[in-house]
Amino acid sequence: MHPAYSVILFTTASGAGYGLLFWLSLAHVIGVLPLAGWQFLVAICSALALITLGLLSSTFHLGRPERAWRAFSQWRSSWLSREGVAAVATYLPAGLLTLLSLFGVSGWLSLPLALLSALGAVATVWCTGMIYTSLKTIRQWHHPLVPWIYLALAASSGALLLCLLIAFAGGTARGAATLALLALIGAGGLKWLYWRRIDAETGRFSADMAIGIPGVQRQLDPPHTRPNYVMREMGYQVARKHARDLRRMVLTWGFAVPGLLLAFVAVTGGLAPVLAPIAVMSAGAGLVVERWLFFAEAEHVAMLYYGAERA
């Protein structure tokens, strides 16, 4: 599948934003958040800014962005529509929570709002994952691990940002670093398992099934001389050798480097304001490559008509 940069930016940025919103809200509910007052305000605003940046960038993927509002209507059947509804619905409690902290109002109301924000963040990221998982046409996406990986990566990138914010606010970042480390280990493990699974299985569908006649040898004549939309969108391929190198990059920059830095912060509690930004940048780069690969490695069954043997 063609990796569209707008979708990569959308899923990584808003994923991290929802992750941060989730941890902020949860820590707020439990009452263990070391950020208070304007620090909390800055943190929740950064989460909402990342979410908004992602959602705005997702509209660049649309042919008719001015009609994007129509996408809220089909939540009964469409995961994309559900994602839109969940995203907008999450703005309500999260926005109110932001307003409360802006005016310095603290009261019982912030607890249900924080709970709803956390719930909305999980729901939205889950819907994002399900958009891909629900597509039976792409075996690398139609996989039960996919929505869990989306959740785990959002949780770990959000926890990493929380650690960074706490470090910059001068708080002790040991707790957040431990949380981010655990989330990173979980996400890395899931991603590794996912790669092993998709490598182990060959596609269920063959050219014989696509054309309906057994014994398809090859395509003698393509229908058109130059690639069309289907080939450009669905036929994007990354060489296996490059995919291996890129996976190694994801494991190194996305998980190993930030993991080691977080472990140092979690154990010693020192150097957090220096190490956290490095960890965030490294994990961000790893995450973007991960998302790019998620698209580039996905094989669509329509390519069976254009010479693919299995998909």
Q: Is residue 222 a contact point for another protein (CB under 8 A)?
A: yes
**Minimum CB distance to another protein, residue 166 (Å):** 37
Strand partners of residue 310: 206
**79 or 255: whose CB is closer to another protein?**
79
Number of amino acids touching another protein (CB under 8 A):
58
Rg (CA), the chain: 21
What x/- string results for residues 83 through 112 when contact with another protein is judged by CB under 8 A? Answer: -x----------------------------
Please state, in angstroms and rounded to a whole number, the distance separating the CA atoms of residues 301 and 311. 5
At 105 the three-state DSSP class reads coil
**66 or 200: whose CB is closer to another protein?**
66
**CA torsion angle 95 97 98 99 (round to 10):** 90
**96 or 216: whose CB is closer to another protein?**
216
Q: Is residue 243 a contact point for another protein (CB under 8 A)?
A: no
Specify the residue for token string 């059947």.
77
Among 73, 106, 172, 268, binds another protein (CB under 8 A): 73
Structure tokens at 80: 């994309």
What's the one-letter identity of residue 279? A
Q: Is residue 205 a contact point for another protein (CB under 8 A)?
A: yes
Q: Which of 178, 172, 181 is nearest to 283 (CA)?
A: 181
DSSP summary character for residue 203: P
Q: Is residue 214 a contact point for another protein (CB under 8 A)?
A: yes
Contact residues: another protein, CB under 8 A: 1, 61-65, 67-68, 70-74, 76-81, 84, 131, 134-138, 204-205, 209-230, 233-234, 300-303, 305-306
